[in-house]
Structure 1
């Protein structure tokens, strides 16, 4: 494989003359060497420039590297004003991160959703609009993570009378974490030109094929539940009533995670920011790296959608029925949108649901609390956004240390929920009260119906993944 400028940016080379010289000289001197050997040589030059000043081959590279580094970009002295929803339930760390994001020179507007909590760079639940700049950590690591719901014309009572059958359907048709299907289903996504034109994406294609149709770990799930439609969903001719539904939550698997890591490193190497803001480094959309990331991000989002569609296709076959409707929305993404003056903005929603006027979405609670089908109201102050769930009130570590399995079991039994898998870090009590979260955003979305989980599968202890 040919060494590229992106490889050098990823190991710490700044953009400029040193990068070009390094590419030329390494190919002249080590044209037949393996790619990994070339990268190791150039890593040594970056790590110890002084030692190579008099080197016969790489002296010019070392001299170029000693020239003044990229200037650190200054933050504004104070944060731009932004709207916070449900501030009393948002931890200080998330508020501090949002304040920093609102001081970036490329920031135009922002908002913080009621499920917000601290993350890397932009807080989870943060919405940030920028001008011609995309922030990889403003999108997030699990690019295009989404919700997908299929509604069926099946009596919900069957979730009780056929519980073992429904559990087997989940076990036979879903995979989580490192587990994948022995025979993955092909998909048109793999014909996309990005898989051949973008080097980082090309290197991930085989892994993406292996993981297609599977779900990640953590808070990702596939679950059967009961939907109650309270307001007619005319988009699908769904009348008010009770329905059986399947809800899934997952993202772009290893494909998205590796794209995020690769371009985050490039952004941090080329866009130097003060330490407090270093994870908010951006890529200019006029740059080659910025254009590449945009293409790769959109591919990862479409791949995440393809994974969900395969999950729902497998389940529909298992149920031997045709869906009435499918509702899908995503977060951990950046969109090109227009402001009130018609100017284009890049809107990052990291753990936030698009809620433009008339846009349908799903906001889940936890494994044993309700979620909601919503229609966006298009409120400008929220940048046409809403929460992406209940939001954590307890870190994963704290949840594992303080929550007892017996307490979780009692909660699940009281809610009438059958659980397959999941660790204590996903216990319902580790999350905020979804009803309070929804109350904080009643100006952002209209509630069309609710979803109550009944049979839930997540990534977890295999002892829970046995069906009699």
Structure 2
């Protein structure tokens, strides 16, 4: 009990309100500064009752200042609608309450037009992962997410499925030799490749973006940490797909998942802070701060977001091209889709900005890829264009437990057994990415049968992830 974290409910019990003062208090509590939990609670109560006495206190001064100015701060705050707009929820029985509460707040924004929650949804920052939000001429940096333009890419090769068995060691060497993973990792100067994305005018005309060009070049063609991967597997087309030009059968395929690396993360951090400075929302909604697209700041973010999306696509292109060349194979089909992005789309006859934070575009006949985990199948899908879902579907299975919880509770022996049972070779990854940390992909797919049709099933066999399980920088 002594070290139990102080949370918002504890502060409410002391008399704090759910406003910006609570946020400052929780930040101070993270440091703890040698105080016990009970001592911190006594301090927080005293600061609340006598803020003027703490204006010279190095630790509690920020809290005292905001308490003394809370009335003025709230006068500047943009009001939310009293009740949230209604929104569609898919697979509701398997979605945690935290994600629903976040979506409820998002649906109260004055710029919100419509929303939907996908069956892989779980709690995130601002908009939940698996949340889809349509707004009126406004873009929310945290509605897009930190890893801007994170995406899936699938290459189907003209090689039979049994190529995996007869060339296992070769394929493993191909993955190890043509990929690089993890937060902060990239390529040395003599290893770098060129790509047209680096010729974007923003790298020359925008000082902030210019400062990121060298990092972007260094990390071009690399993959992040966390749940990002490059993997060989078997893709099974139970029926021929005329639109893709692929005959019925099982083929060797390459599936990748990664985003815009340090470039996107830095852009996200910069414009999220800018949005919070400009758009003063209540404490419960502050991570949903938005930028009006009629402003210079909104246009800047929009251009930077699209650059990060193009860069993420370029990273996948470099990886797939390297591996295709190493295999000496021909490409039968390639499919790519992204999430963590915002699009200008039509909804009920009006142009809106659709944020898909961990959601797959699924308009009519749009192709997408919905992965499971390192030991469960993924699916190549074709969208049905369901307007209630804002033409969207899940972007994966969705987390069942947090990374911290997975590391603390899951056993490496159980993971090893599962991988052996499914005939999977794992290169890298941490326990936070164990399949048991994710929802059942089949349950998720069943919950969105109205949103997508399954075209083919992908079974991972050789999976490469960050060696240390690190997250994106």
For 2:153, which of 142, 148, 155 is the aligned residue?
148
**Aligned ranges 1:339-354 → 2 under 5 Å:** 339-341=347-349, 343-354=350-361
For 1:180, which of 182, 186, 200 is the aligned residue?
186
- What are the superposed Cα offsets for residues 286-337 of structure 1, whole Å, 9 maximum, x if unpaired? 0100000000000000000000000001101110112111100000000000
**Aligned ranges 1:430-449 → 2 under 5 Å:** 430-449=437-456
Tell me, yes or no, if structure 1 residue 367 matches structure 2 residue 374: yes
**Matched residue of 1:267: which SS?**
helix
- Contact preservation (8 Å) 2:151, 2:258: yes
TM-score normalised to structure 2 length: 0.82
Tell me, yes or no, if structure 1 residue 197 matches structure 2 residue 205: yes
**Matched residue of 1:214: which SS?**
coil
Q: Shift of residue 258 of structure 1?
A: 0.5
**Structure 2 partner of 1:295:** 303
Cα distance in structure 1, aligned partners of 2:186 and 2:272: 27
After the TM superposition, which parts of structure 1 deviate over 3 Å for at least 4 consecutive aligned residues? none
- What are the superposed Cα offsets for residues 157-212 of structure 1, whole Å, 9 maximum, x if unpaired? 12112111111000000000133223111101111111112222111001000000
Cα distance in structure 1, aligned partners of 2:353 and 2:304: 16
- Contact preservation (8 Å) 2:78, 2:281: yes
**Matched residue of 2:243: which SS?**
helix
Cα distance in structure 2, aligned partners of 1:452 and 1:328: 17
Tell me, yes or no, if structure 1 residue 460 matches structure 2 residue 453: no
Cα distance in structure 1, aligned partners of 2:451 and 2:399: 20
For 1:319, which of 312, 316, 327 is the aligned residue?
327
Q: Shift of residue 232 of structure 1?
A: 2.9
Cα distance in structure 2, aligned partners of 1:191 and 1:79: 43
**Matched residue of 1:217: which SS?**
coil
- Contact preservation (8 Å) 1:225, 1:451: yes
Cα distance in structure 2, aligned partners of 1:161 and 1:374: 29
Q: Shift of residue 144 of structure 1?
A: 0.1
Tell me, yes or no, if structure 1 residue 164 matches structure 2 residue 169: yes
For 1:239, which of 244, 247, 251 is the aligned residue?
247
Q: Shift of residue 260 of structure 1?
A: 0.3
**Matched residue of 1:128: which SS?**
strand
Q: Shift of residue 239 of structure 1?
A: 1.6
- Contact preservation (8 Å) 1:198, 1:292: no
Aligned residues: 398
Q: Shift of residue 235 of structure 1?
A: 2.6
**Aligned ranges 1:74-223 → 2 under 5 Å:** 74-177=79-182, 178-182=184-188, 183-223=191-231
Backbone CA RMSD of aligned residues: 1.6
- Contact preservation (8 Å) 2:347, 2:390: no
**Aligned ranges 1:420-431 → 2 under 5 Å:** 420-431=427-438
For 1:308, which of 316, 320, 325 is the aligned residue?
316
Cα distance in structure 2, aligned partners of 1:384 and 1:94: 20
Q: Shift of residue 461 of structure 1?
A: 4.3
**Matched residue of 2:81: which SS?**
coil
**Matched residue of 1:104: which SS?**
coil
**Structure 2 partner of 1:396:** 403
Cα distance in structure 2, aligned partners of 1:207 and 1:118: 30
- What are the superposed Cα offsets for residues 214-270 of structure 1, whole Å, 9 maximum, x if unpaired? 000000000000000124332321122111100000000000000000000000011
Moved more, 320-329 or 378-387: 320-329
**Aligned ranges 1:403-414 → 2 under 5 Å:** 403-414=410-421
**Structure 1 partner of 2:17:** none
TM-score normalised to structure 1 length: 0.83
Moved more, 434-443 or 186-195: 186-195
Q: Shift of residue 340 of structure 1?
A: 2.1
For 2:426, which of 419, 426, 451 is the aligned residue?
419
Gaps of 5+ in 2: 1-54, 57-71
For 1:332, which of 332, 340, 347 is the aligned residue?
340
Q: Shift of residue 127 of structure 1?
A: 0.1
Cα distance in structure 2, aligned partners of 1:75 and 1:296: 28
Gaps of 5+ in 1: 1-49, 52-67, 463-468
**Structure 2 partner of 1:33:** none
Tell me, yes or no, if structure 1 residue 229 matches structure 2 residue 200: no
**Matched residue of 1:213: which SS?**
coil
**Matched residue of 1:397: which SS?**
helix
**Matched residue of 1:218: which SS?**
coil
- What are the superposed Cα offsets for residues 1-49 of structure 1, whole Å, 9 maximum, x if unpaired? xxxxxxxxxxxxxxxxxxxxxxxxxxxxxxxxxxxxxxxxxxxxxxxxx
**Structure 2 partner of 1:257:** 265
